[in-house]
């Protein structure tokens, strides 16, 4: 199965600053990579699919890039509501596999 690795485990950022999150696949997944935001007590929310396409109603401060094995999620200017856990998922092959998550916390 494809192993997804996220870095860093925790990212401390001040409001208004940029956050850059990394996700790496153990083999090429082309662009079949999604990013999700997960807050406690809420269902995960799809942010990005096809590595760089924003899902419906996702603000433009969220952007995704990459292909093959290296992917990045960038939050250009962190808002208070953006502090959460972010995880990636590959949907290139079965079983679908997930990264372990990056917690974005207030610095």
Would you tell me which residues interact with another protein (CB under 8 A)? 32, 34, 41-46, 49-50, 55, 87, 89, 91, 94-101
* CB-nearer residue toward another protein: 68 or 101: 101
CB of 43 to another protein, least distance (A): 4
CB of 96 to another protein, least distance (A): 4
Of 50, 54, 55, residue with least CA distance to 67: 50
CB of 23 to another protein, least distance (A): 12
- Cβ atoms of 77 and 16 within 8 Å: the answer is yes
Q: Which two tokens stand for residue 104?
A: 């974005």
CB of 16 to another protein, least distance (A): 29
* CB-nearer residue toward another protein: 48 or 78: 48
Residue with tokens 């485990």: 9
* CB-nearer residue toward another protein: 66 or 99: 99
What's the burial of 13, exposed, middle or buried (CB within 10 Å: 0-12/13-18/19+)?
A: middle
Q: Which two tokens stand for residue 38?
A: 């997960």
What are residue 73's DSSP bridge partners? 21, 64
* CB-nearer residue toward another protein: 19 or 54: 54
């Amino acid at each position: 199965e494809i192993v997804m690795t996220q870095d860093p485990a925790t990212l401390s950022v001040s409001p208004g600053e940029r956050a850059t999150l990394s996700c790496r696949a153990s083999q090429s997944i082309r662009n079949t990579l999604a990013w999700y935001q997960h807050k406690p007590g809420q269902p995960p929310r799809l942010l990005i699919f096809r590595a760089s396409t924003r899902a419906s109603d996702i603000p433009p401060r969220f952007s995704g890039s990459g292909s093959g094995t290296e992917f990045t999620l960038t939050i250009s200017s962190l808002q208070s509501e953006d502090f959460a856990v972010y995880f990636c998922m590959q949907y290139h092959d079965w079983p679908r596999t997930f990264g372990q998550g990056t917690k974005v916390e207030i610095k």
